[in-house]
Each structure stands twice: as C-alpha cells, then as structure tokens.
Structure 1
Amino acid sequence: MTIVLGFEGSANKIGVGIIQDGKVLSNPRRTYITPPGQGFMPSDTARHHRSCILDVLQEALEEAQIKPQDVNCVAYTKGPGMGAPLLSVAIVARTVSQLWKKPLLGVNHCIGHIEMGRLITGAENPTVLYVSGGNTQVISYSEHRYRIFGETIDIAVGNCLDRFARVLKISNDPSPGYNIEQMAKKGKKFVELPYTVKGMDVSFSGILSYIENSVEPNMLQEGQFSCLIDRLLLGGQETLFSMLVEITERAMAHCGSQEVLIVGGVGCNVRLQEMMAVMCKERGAKLFATDERFCIDNGAMIAQAGWEMFRSGQVTQLEDSWITQRYRTDEVEVTWRD
C-alpha cells in the first residue's frame, strides 16, 4: 500500500490531494477569484495560496482519514506555471517532507493532468488533448516520453477564453470559461471568425485581436449584448474548439490511435467534448473525458503522477527541488510505462 500526498498551486487554484494505489482519498481545493474584467497577478495569487494552504492540507488529511505517518511520499508541482504561486507551494511541500521525514517528488503539471485522466477514465494509450489556461498541446506517448505533436504557437486556449471574458466584463466566478460556455448556449447564429491552423499547430492571437477590436464600450450596454453573444461567444467558442478537434484528429491519424483523452481545465467544457465525440464517432474511436473535479487543477493529479513516479523508483533530492515556470511535457522521462 502506497499513499502519496500531492500539492498543486501553479495558477489560481491551490489543491491538496491524497492517492492510495489508484484510489482518490481526498481532493480539496480553493480558487483565487478576481473581479470581472481582471486577471490574477502572480504576487496576489501566491498570497492567496499561502493564506489557505495549511487549511487545505488539514482538510485533505481529515477527509482521507489518515495521519502524516501514513504518507509514503510528498509530491508537488515543479512546473510549468506562474513563478510566485509555484514557489509558495513548493516551500510548503519541502517543509512538510522534512518535518514528516518523507521522500519528495517534483511533478510536471501537464503529466499530472494526463495521469489523472488515465486513472479516472481507464484510457490505455490515448492521443491526449491538453487544454488549460496556460497550455494547449496534442500529446501521445512513445518510447518513455509524452511527445508533443502539436501546440499553440502563441497563447493557450484557456488564456484566450479568459481574455474574451475580460473584454466583455464577464464574471470570473466560478471561472470565466464556464460562464462563457453557459452564455454561448444562448447564441442563435454562428458567426465565422479567424481560424488559424498551421500544420499541427494552432494560433489564437488572431481571433483574440478580432474580438478585442470588435467590442466598443457602448456595446456592453444591455441592449446590444445579445449580438455580442452570437458574434463573440458562440462564434468564438465554436471556432477555437474546431481548431483543436482538427489538430487532434491529425495527430490520431499520424499515430494510428483509436482513443482521445481530453485533460486540463478547458477539458470539462461540454461543448468541446461534444465536438470531439462527433469526430471520434466518424473515426470509430473512443473519447475519454472527465468533469471539473479532475479536469480543473487539483492536488490529486499531482499525487497520482507522484505515485506513478515513486513506485518506479524516482525521488527528488532536496537540493534539486526547485520550480521552473517553463517545464516541457516531453522533458520528463516516463519510467512507469512500458
């Protein structure tokens, strides 16, 4: 029996999760929410994480009904992510590791998403679409690496959606992407917007610039908001997701894959899942996806990746337990898969 405690805090969510041999024992988290029209600054986000991380840790232990001596390893997000939040959480993880005299493991955030998705859905060897606030990648496993077959060449799809919400002063509670998804359901007419796929890669800066230039202050008045829903929210969401489905299908064809796994915060968008399901059905493939409990950043995904790493013999020495804002998915040697 192996129990791993995982700390996640790479962006605006702080989570602590506990995994015991493939079973999620607990997974509490808190979200730093800013006013409409505003993003979250690194220093403010780190301050939020510091203020509640010990409460979340205590909640995780109580929910899992375990004590510190039951934990076999402490895992934390090494990167990628925002520097100040990453560092604030890494310091707590290092401290807990030393106080409890437990091994430490630095985990790649992206691989945490993938391993959590594989655990929850049962997908065996899928083509992975990883879509979040800071990352957009199409990934497939080969020869002990998660290989990146396509990605964004500018901004991530989640960041793009967040910027849509910021321009239109849409609430950040519970998340801008969720609110856009609900409002887009009210749209009645699809409006074509800039669509940029370059080989296996995508670009979202063009559609973002179009939307930013399309909105004038007087248009945000109640009388004109319905047309903005059609032009920007319905059209914007459909266009972004169409681009993602295209590059995912292209990667599937290249790899001969019959499985797709969607992970990351944007992955819980039901419309994205519907569009991907249509493509998979046409190819005779299977789609695997989860809900907001496991798609959105959480501590259990770091614990699960840490569990896989720990059982394959990996440990992070204290002097190597730094963080890095840029930590590529394909930098990690995947020692736990054949």
Structure 2
Amino acid sequence: MTVVIGFEGSANKIGVGIISDGEVLSNPRRTYITPPGQGFMPSDTARHHRAVILTVLKEALEQAGLKPADIDCVAYTKGPGMGAPLVTVAIVARTVAQLWGKPLLGVNHCIGHIEMGRLITKSNNPTVLYVSGGNTQVIAYLERRYRIFGETIDIAVGNCLDRFARVIKISNDPSPGYNIEQMAKKGTRYVELPYTVKGMDVSFSGILSFIEEAANKMLSSGQCTAEDLCFSLQETVFAMLVETTERAMAHCGSQEVLIVGGVGCNQRLQEMMGVMCKERGAKLFATDERFCIDNGAMIAQAGWEMFRTGRVTELEDSWITQRYRTDEVEVTWRD
C-alpha cells in the first residue's frame, strides 16, 4: 500500500488530499473569494493560503484517520500557476517532507487534473479537454508524453468567463463561472460574438473585448439582458472547444473524451460535448466539482503514479515553475 499526500495551491484554491492506491481518503480545500468586480491578486491569494494551509493539512490527516508516519510521499504543485501562491505551498510541502522524513515530488498541475479524471471516470485512453481559469488545452497521450494538440493562443476560457463576470459585477461566490452558468440558463436571446478557431488553437481575447464593449451599450439600451450575454458567451466559447476537441479525436482515432479542470464541471459544456460524442459514437467522461475544481487529491494521485515508477524530486530541485507545460513531463507510468 502506498499513501501519498498532495498539496495544491496554484490559484485561489488551497487543497490537501490523501490518496492510497487509487482511493481518495480525504480532500479538504478552501477558496479565496474576492468582492464582485475584482479578481484575485497573487500576493493576497498567497496570504490567504498561508493563513489556512496548516488547518487544511490537519483536516486532511484527521479525515483520512492517518498520522504523518503513515504517509509514504509528499507531492506538491510545481506549476503552472501564480507565482506567490505556488511558492507558499511548495515551502510548506518541502518543510513537511523534511519534518516527516519523507520523499518529495513536484507535480505538474495539468497532469494532476488528467490523472484524477482518469482515476475517477475509469476512462482508458481519452482525448482530454483541459479547461480552467489559467489553462485551455486539447491533449492526447502518445509515447510517454501528454501531447498538446491545440490550446489557447491568448487567455484561457476560464479567465475569459471570470473577466466578463467582473465587467457585469457578477459575484465570485462560489465562483464567477458557476454564477455565469446559472444566469445563462435564463438567457433567451443569442447575441452573435466573434468565433475564433485557428486550426487546432482557439482565441478568447477578441470575444472578451467585443462582449465587454457590447455589454455596456446593449444593457443600457435594453437590447438584451445580462442573462442573454452569459448565454451567448457560453454557447460561443464552448462551441469552439467542442470543435477543436472533435478535430483532435478524428486525428487520433479516439472514441473517448475526458473533460478536466474547473470549467469542466459546467453542465452546458458537458451537454454540448455529449451531443458531439453521441454523433461520433464516442463516450464522454467528466467529474463533478469535488474533483474537477483544483484539489489536493489530484496532486496526490499524479504523485502516486510518479512515485510508484521511482520518481522523486531532490530538495535542491524542489522549486516552482510558473510556466510548466503539460508536454514537458515524461509520463513513466503509462504504456
């Protein structure tokens, strides 16, 4: 039996999770929430993480019914993410590993999402759509790498949604994306927005500036409601993601899609992807907010996979990398 504890804190969530041979023993987390109209700054987010991380660590051990002696390895998010929050979590993980006398493992955040998705959904070899506040990638596994087939060439889809939420002052509690999703359900009118797919890549900054400008004019003149704009934005950006995912599936001859990352819990995105999969005779896999939103267990799971193939991170190499690409990691645990 191998027990791995994972520390995640690359953005506004701080989580500590414990995994034992594919079983999630505990996975508590906290979210740093800012007032409507505001994003979260790296320094404030890091301060929040520092304030609660030891409480979350204690919770994780208590929920799992374990003591430090029962842990075999300490995994932490090496990147990608926001610098100050990543450093906060890395320092705690490094300290804990030294105090407990355990090996340390730096984990790629994106691969944490993929391995958690594979564990929970039992999908075999899916084409992965990874969508979150900081990342948008279409990924497939080949020859010991998670290959990036397409990605955003500017901002991530989650960032696009979050920034639009700020423009029309939507609450950040529990998350801007969730609140946009609820408002979109009440939207009745589709407002045409720029649709930007370039081969396998997507671009969201043009849509964002267009809808930011349109929001002020259209809402003040009563041409449409805030709900209509939420609906239109979701339909447009999700259609772009479904298109690029389908193209990657066709290229790989794949019959499985796995959606991971915070935006992955969006029911409308899952619904649209489901329609495409049905038309292709393919299967869709997705998780709920416990596992698709950043959490410690996903870092523990990727760490568990790496640790059982003999990977560890030496103390002098245990820094963070803000731009840590998915395809930089050698995937030693898959055939």
Q: Shorter-chain TM-score: which interval?
A: over 0.9
- Counterpart position of 1:52: 52
- Counterpart position of 2:227: 229
TM-score of the pair, normalised by structure 2: 0.98
Change (3 A) 1:47 1:283: same
- Counterpart position of 2:264: 267
Secondary structure in structure 2 of the residue aligned to 1:155: coil
Which stretch shifts more, 36-45 or 207-216? 207-216
C-alpha contact 2:218 2:224 (8 A) present in aligned 1: no
- Counterpart position of 2:326: 329
Q: 1:241 aligns with which of 238, 242, 245?
A: 238
- Within-5 A mapping of 1:251-262: 251-262=248-259
- The letter for the 2-side match of 1:16 is V
Secondary structure in structure 2 of the residue aligned to 1:166: helix
* Residue deviations 1:169-216 (CA, integer Å, cap 9, x gap): 000000000000000000112222110000000000111011111132
C-alpha contact 2:219 2:225 (8 A) present in aligned 1: no
Secondary structure in structure 2 of the residue aligned to 1:128: strand
Q: Distance in 1 between matches of 2:70 and 2:217?
A: 57
**Residue 36 of structure 1 pairs with residue 36 of structure 2:** yes
* Residue deviations 1:93-131 (CA, integer Å, cap 9, x gap): 000000000000000000000000000000000000000
**Residue 317 of structure 1 pairs with residue 310 of structure 2:** no
Q: 1:287 aligns with which of 275, 284, 287?
A: 284
- The letter for the 1-side match of 2:186 is K
Change (3 A) 1:225 1:50: farther
The offset of 1:13, in angstroms, is 0.2
- Counterpart position of 2:80: 80
Secondary structure in structure 2 of the residue aligned to 1:277: helix
Change (3 A) 1:253 1:34: same
Q: Distance in 2 between matches of 1:46 and 1:227?
A: 36
- The letter for the 2-side match of 1:311 is R
Q: Distance in 1 between matches of 2:223 and 2:6?
A: 43
- The letter for the 1-side match of 2:36 is P
Please, which runs of 5 or more residues in structure 2 have no aligned partner? none
Q: Distance in 2 between matches of 1:12 and 1:102?
A: 27
Q: Distance in 1 between matches of 2:217 and 2:282?
A: 45
TM-score of the pair, normalised by structure 1: 0.97
- Counterpart position of 1:69: 69
Change (3 A) 1:60 1:225: farther
Q: Distance in 1 between matches of 2:230 and 2:224?
A: 10
Q: Distance in 2 between matches of 1:158 and 1:228?
A: 18
Q: Distance in 1 between matches of 2:168 and 2:128?
A: 31
Q: Distance in 2 between matches of 1:262 and 1:208?
A: 23
* Residue deviations 1:110-166 (CA, integer Å, cap 9, x gap): 000000000000000000000000000000000000000000000000000001100
- Counterpart position of 1:153: 153
- Counterpart position of 2:10: 10
- The letter for the 2-side match of 1:207 is I
Change (3 A) 1:228 1:71: same
The offset of 1:224, in angstroms, is 4.5
- Counterpart position of 1:200: 200
Q: Distance in 2 between matches of 1:219 and 1:115?
A: 42
Q: Distance in 1 between matches of 2:3 and 2:199?
A: 43
Q: Distance in 1 between matches of 2:6 and 2:217?
A: 44
* Residue deviations 1:274-313 (CA, integer Å, cap 9, x gap): 0000000000000000000000000000000000000010
Q: Distance in 1 between matches of 2:306 and 2:24?
A: 17
Q: Distance in 1 between matches of 2:216 and 2:192?
A: 19
Secondary structure in structure 2 of the residue aligned to 1:165: helix
- Counterpart position of 1:177: 177
Q: Percent identity?
A: 83
Say what the alpha-carbon RMSD is for the aligned residues: 1.2
- In the alignment of these two chains, the number of paired residues is 335
Change (3 A) 1:224 1:52: farther
- Within-5 A mapping of 1:105-116: 105-116=105-116
- The letter for the 2-side match of 1:266 is V
Change (3 A) 1:67 1:187: same
- Counterpart position of 1:141: 141
* Residue deviations 1:216-262 (CA, integer Å, cap 9, x gap): 28947xx95962321x2111000000000000000000000000000
**Residue 163 of structure 1 pairs with residue 160 of structure 2:** no
Q: Distance in 1 between matches of 2:272 and 2:57?
A: 37
After the TM superposition, which segments of 4 or more aligned residues of structure 1 sit over 6 Å from their partners?
none
Secondary structure in structure 2 of the residue aligned to 1:215: helix
C-alpha contact 2:69 2:100 (8 A) present in aligned 1: yes
Secondary structure in structure 1 of the residue aligned to 2:225: helix
- The letter for the 2-side match of 1:111 is I
